[in-house]
Structure 1
Amino acid sequence: MDPAELFAQLRRDPDVDAPDLVAVDATDRLLLDEAAADLREHPEGVAVLDDAYGALTLGAVALHGVTRPRVHQDALVGELALARNAERVGLADSYDGLPLGPELVRGTRVVLARAPKSLHALRELAEVVAADAAPDATLYVGARVKHMTHAMNDVLGLAFTDVSATLARQKSRVLVARGPRPVEHTFPRCREDDDLGLVVCAHGAAFAGAKVDRGTRALLGVLPKAVPEAAVALDLGCGTGVLAGELARARPGLTVFASDQSAAACASARATAAANELADRVEVRRDDAAGSLPEGSVDLVVCNPPFHVGTTVAENAAERLFAGAARVLRPGGELWCVWNSHLSHRPALQRIVGPTRQVSRDRTFTVTASTRR
């Protein structure tokens, strides 16, 4: 298949769309080109990590003859997009989706990865590959040049003996790591927050790591006021599960759900709940905008929504969560949301959920409560 023909068929659906957001980019193309010889030499020993929407997986299969690559995508919308794109181009059931762990990379000779946003996520990825891939495995990590730093080489150097960089092309570059070192898995990492007395656990790709970010702290400060009579609550976009954990600790009779589309976030939230002896109180679900919860089943939703898609600012990313909250809230239930004060979320909250009031505000963060009509 011609690359242009293949890539022209790929879509971002069901992820958010915008003029500057694409399903295939220069990094995808460069990764496939740089790894082409290895992919053809080892077609049955390939793993793909954090393929955005399927370009790497489907490109490896259709363009280089790779057989059933093993694929892990942290983002659930990426998994769904890959499945839909595979169906669209006639390659359904051509790959195996697996969690980030030994089975994903065991015995593989070639690993393709889009660079994650954080160095912690890159380190966990490198640890998994170095520990369980074949001794002669090569890891290709691609990113936009503007998002790459020398620290990425250093992180890969902790798990591989040889790390080099390709020439840049169309503002993208690939780091090539060879010679896996003997390494131990260092994730999840846990630490106790002194102010909360809560142990926070985080896998590499979890937002804020094992710390409590300032937005979450702003919401925690007013959380006791949030629908005190609630019977069922949801921490939507839960991250490491701090809000869910605090709700469960403070309200023994409350049923608490925590959901996130990130596999790393869900694993982190489960680890946080377990570390605080709350595993039987917090049910964690990997979900796209609370899609698995019944309509009108929740009294309180708490949310610290993202405003980026990858490294691109996209305020409408939060609106998918607002719509999810509106669907699962019972009439009269409330969404308590924290957001950067410079953003204009209030009109969207009023349109999507219902009447919205300000609970607190400072120069950095605003907390609002929106009542489901």
Structure 2
Amino acid sequence: MNDVLEALRRYPDVEAPNLHAVDATDRLLLGEAAPLLADAPDGTVVVIGDRYGALTLGATSGHGVTGVRTHQDRLTGERALHANAEQLGIEGFTSHGLTPDLVAGARLVLLQLPRSLDALDEVAGLVAAHADPSVVVVAGGRVKHMTVAMNDVLARHLTHVEARLARQKSRALVATGVRADHPAARWPERTPHPDLGLTVCAHGGAFAGTSVDIGTRALLAHLDEVGPTTGTAVDLGCGTGVLAVALARSRPGLDVVATDESAAAVASARATVEVNGVTDRVRVTRAVGGDDLPDASADVVLLNPPFHVGATVAPAVAHALFADAARLLRPGGELWAVWNSHLRYRPALEQVVGPTRQAGRDPKFTVTVSTRRSAMTS
């Protein structure tokens, strides 16, 4: 198994000497679960939150488990798992959404703890509702990112929760058995926003939940200035779909595509689109930077880019999305972007997309409009 873990890559995610496909939590979880994996009947093991395939491939290659069901929120991670499996010639697993079929009848769940308590609540609730009543959940994370509240969330759904000793700055929580009185499923949640005239739906892992983050609000304030009334618009990195829904309502002649690589975001956006009655004008798709959309296919792109991955500030994520927007836009098309003012993205937008003007600015956020050049420059 160690040979397999050492061979794993992050590709197609960013790779660098200081970035690793396997961490101490992966190794801890596989070690804690080893006796259970050795006795697990085929088709009863589930892996949730595997970053690049260490848990899934470690279970299948190290313990001969087959029929493993796995769910990863980031599409990049899902692709990395499949790329690693193909490279190493490992089979015995299938990828699923965060849906009942993922955990139906499961007896063992390996879980990389999400940062969000809401995301953990949705996972634990799904397990309690659909797994075998005697299920064992072996969950882990980096100690610095774990809180006692995580134990409490698990304990709402599962009978017994035990914190194991920390090793190499990681810790495992082992939760066993389904509570007879576990709460009913509550995801996706929905919240009306009368000031915006729409309702937001969100699954547990969606950024900002059912609230509307202030960056999105800053861009919404300029939505009436967006030029095209017909053609195609893309909400790139759509989150819960607020911008896509608002644009579809204000521009009935536009076909809107909302895209995100997060499974939680895509599920949330689809629910938001449905509850707001714009399913005929908004299509939601899971993709990395709109990579499933043709070049020069959009008249306008809306973008509220993330500026961090997990707890790490990562401007490269936004720069990659600027390049994606440039690829998607037709010559003369516009990218409307909102970003934290201190990040000073305007020179990058000028270089990657084209001439850029400021549409609005406050102490925290800047809204810019970049017009796609007729030809790309290097």
SS at match of 1:125: helix
The one of 131, 134, 137 aligned to 1:133:
131
The one of 9, 19, 38 aligned to 1:11:
9
Report the alpha carbon displacement of residue 19 of structure 1 after superposing the two structures with TM: 5.3
Relative to structure 1, is the Cα distance of residues 280 and 6 closer, same or farther in structure 2, using a 3 angstrom cutoff? same
SS at match of 1:367: strand
Name the counterpart of 1:311: 311
For 1:14, the aligned partner's letter is P
Name the counterpart of 1:355: 355
Equivalent positions of 1:142-153 (< 5 A) are: 142-153=140-151
Greater alpha carbon shift after TM alignment, 314-323 vs 340-349:
340-349
Report the alpha carbon displacement of residue 18 of structure 1 after superposing the two structures with TM: 4.9
Report the alpha carbon displacement of residue 116 of structure 1 after superposing the two structures with TM: 1.2
Asked if structure 1 preserves the Cα contact closer than 8 Å seen for 2:143 and 2:166, the reply is: yes
Equivalent positions of 1:217-256 (< 5 A) are: 217-229=217-229, 231-256=231-256
Greater alpha carbon shift after TM alignment, 173-182 vs 142-151:
173-182
Name the counterpart of 2:376: none
Asked if structure 2 preserves the Cα contact closer than 8 Å seen for 1:232 and 1:255, the reply is: yes
Relative to structure 1, is the Cα distance of residues 137 and 101 closer, same or farther in structure 2, using a 3 angstrom cutoff? same
For 2:160, the aligned partner's letter is D
For 1:83, the aligned partner's letter is H
Name the counterpart of 1:166: 164
SS at match of 2:218: helix
Asked if structure 2 preserves the Cα contact closer than 8 Å seen for 1:75 and 1:261, the reply is: yes
For 1:180, the aligned partner's letter is V
The one of 109, 112, 124 aligned to 1:111:
109
Report the alpha carbon displacement of residue 170 of structure 1 after superposing the two structures with TM: 1.1
For 1:341, the aligned partner's letter is S
Relative to structure 1, is the Cα distance of residues 64 and 6 closer, same or farther in structure 2, using a 3 angstrom cutoff? same
Asked if structure 2 preserves the Cα contact closer than 8 Å seen for 1:16 and 1:316, the reply is: no
> Cα deviations across residues 204-235 of structure 1 (Å, max 9, x unaligned)?
11110001001100111112112244521100
Asked if structure 1 preserves the Cα contact closer than 8 Å seen for 2:240 and 2:268, the reply is: yes
SS at match of 2:348: helix
The CA distance in 2 between the partners of 1:283 and 1:19, in whole Å, is 38
The CA distance in 1 between the partners of 2:17 and 2:308, in whole Å, is 14
The CA distance in 1 between the partners of 2:6 and 2:115, in whole Å, is 26
Report the alpha carbon displacement of residue 94 of structure 1 after superposing the two structures with TM: 2.4
Name the counterpart of 1:157: 155
The CA distance in 1 between the partners of 2:344 and 2:142, in whole Å, is 29
The CA distance in 2 between the partners of 1:149 and 1:58, in whole Å, is 28
Report the alpha carbon displacement of residue 87 of structure 1 after superposing the two structures with TM: 1.1
> Cα deviations across residues 331-368 of structure 1 (Å, max 9, x unaligned)?
11111111111213223222222222222111211111
> Cα deviations across residues 1-44 of structure 1 (Å, max 9, x unaligned)?
4x1x2122111111234554321111111111111111111152
**TM-score, structure 1 normalization:** 0.96
**TM-score, structure 2 normalization:** 0.95
Asked if structure 1 preserves the Cα contact closer than 8 Å seen for 2:71 and 2:96, the reply is: yes
Name the counterpart of 2:321: 321
Report the alpha carbon displacement of residue 161 of structure 1 after superposing the two structures with TM: 1.4
Asked if structure 2 preserves the Cα contact closer than 8 Å seen for 1:201 and 1:272, the reply is: yes
> Cα deviations across residues 50-78 of structure 1 (Å, max 9, x unaligned)?
11111110011111221121011111111
Relative to structure 1, is the Cα distance of residues 20 and 369 closer, same or farther in structure 2, using a 3 angstrom cutoff? farther
Q: Report the count of equivalent residues.
A: 370
The CA distance in 2 between the partners of 1:35 and 1:109, in whole Å, is 12
CA RMSD of aligned residues (A): 1.4
Greater alpha carbon shift after TM alignment, 181-190 vs 244-253:
181-190
Equivalent positions of 1:1-80 (< 5 A) are: 1=1, 3=2, 5-18=3-16, 20-44=18-42, 45-80=44-79
Name the counterpart of 2:207: 207
For 1:333, the aligned partner's letter is G
Name the counterpart of 1:120: 118
Greater alpha carbon shift after TM alignment, 56-65 vs 233-242:
56-65
Asked if structure 1 preserves the Cα contact closer than 8 Å seen for 2:233 and 2:299, the reply is: yes
Report the alpha carbon displacement of residue 311 of structure 1 after superposing the two structures with TM: 2.9
Relative to structure 1, is the Cα distance of residues 288 and 266 closer, same or farther in structure 2, using a 3 angstrom cutoff? same
Asked if structure 1 preserves the Cα contact closer than 8 Å seen for 2:323 and 2:353, the reply is: yes
The CA distance in 2 between the partners of 1:248 and 1:229, in whole Å, is 10
The CA distance in 2 between the partners of 1:19 and 1:188, in whole Å, is 39
Greater alpha carbon shift after TM alignment, 48-57 vs 304-313:
304-313
SS at match of 2:336: strand
